[in-house]
Amino acid sequence: MLYRIVNRICGLLTVVALLCLIPSSAKAETIGLILTHGIYEYERIHDSLVSYLKKEGHADRVKFLIQRPYPDPIALGNASRKLIVADVDIILTYGAAPTRAMLRERPRIPVLYAGVYEPIAAQIASKNATGVCSKFNISSLVRYLRTSTTINNLGVVYYSAEKESTHQMQELQDISKKYGFEIKPLDLKYKTDLHTMLNDVEADALMVTSSPAANSSLPTILRIATSRKIPTASLLTSDKITAMITLSSDPVRQGELLGGMLVKVLNGTPPQSIKPVCSKKIELVYNVKDANRMGLKISMDLVTEATKLINK
């Protein structure tokens, strides 16, 4: 009898010893994620982050709890609160609007962000948050557009309810003073009148800001602009339809940088000890097919600088 008891105790001690030898990396932590519905750029950031974790051998350390709200303040706020109530270990947000919505809830959970336009990212002040900002030069996009057509009036599609989009509109207004053209605002606040606004605007070219609200309207914007032979530049990426010129911060690089930050937090580094970084790698897509179709001159400088050309 005594032998059996001793044997059982030894067995239990062996199990406990083995459990102690299991590395902490084997214990998957729950990562709450706000991945706004239908935003291709955010999907690419996340795919890149997942690839980074797999490549570096950290994929088994995490499991994702994903919220896919539509890009409106109420939906983003609800998604933020759901993740906080779920008591996740770390929160990821892609884009300025989801990040701001989450931080308004004042979570005690570490928040890591990506895809936040640099001037807006600089305004984030939270000891629990850090991340990767997107950096690109809007004046460069205007310069690229001006190499293909003369601009006296520039239509700008933006959403006045989004701080990032509004900031880009203000930047374009400042740039217009330098180059001497007029801005024609097209506010998506009045989305029901989008067709009318696009058909009535007197513009030599269109610019689409990086507004998530503009994402679902991008096919309509580009279809009407093309039918009117108005060249269009965009700060939005898409997998199905492309403006004549698209400029964005490389989402693959953002995902890699964010993956590195996530691993640091998983290893116990607090967010306040991780300095935010800006991804300076850009994607410049030139839709040569559309330029030809609209009878515009092809800029050889733009062809040379583009990271991707669309010819078919």
Q: For residue 282, how far is the Cα from the chain centroid?
A: 13
Confidence of residue 189 (pLDDT cuts 50, 70, 90): confident
| Residue 7 structure tokens | 């044997």
The DSSP letter of residue 210 is S
- The arithmetic mean of pLDDT across residues 177-197, rounded, is 90
pLDDT for 210 beyond 70: yes
| Overall average pLDDT of the 105-122 stretch | 94
Domain(s) of CATH 3.40.50.2300: residues in the chain: 26-135+250-281, 138-248+283-310
Contact 208, 235 (CB under 8 A): yes
- The answer to whether residue 18 scores a pLDDT higher than 90 is no
pLDDT-above-90 percentage for the chain: 75
Residue 298 pLDDT exceeds 90: no
Separation CA 175–CA 207 (nearest Å):
13
Question: What's the mean pLDDT in 153-172?
Answer: 95
CA–CA distance, 146 with 75 (Å, rounded to integer): 38
- Is 80 exceeded by the pLDDT of residue 29? yes
pLDDT at 171: 97
Q: What is the CATH number of domain 26-135+250-281?
A: 3.40.50.2300
The CATH architecture that domain 138-248+283-310 belongs to is 3-Layer(aba) Sandwich (3.40)
pLDDT value of residue 2 = 44
The mean per-residue pLDDT over the stretch 23-49 comes to 87
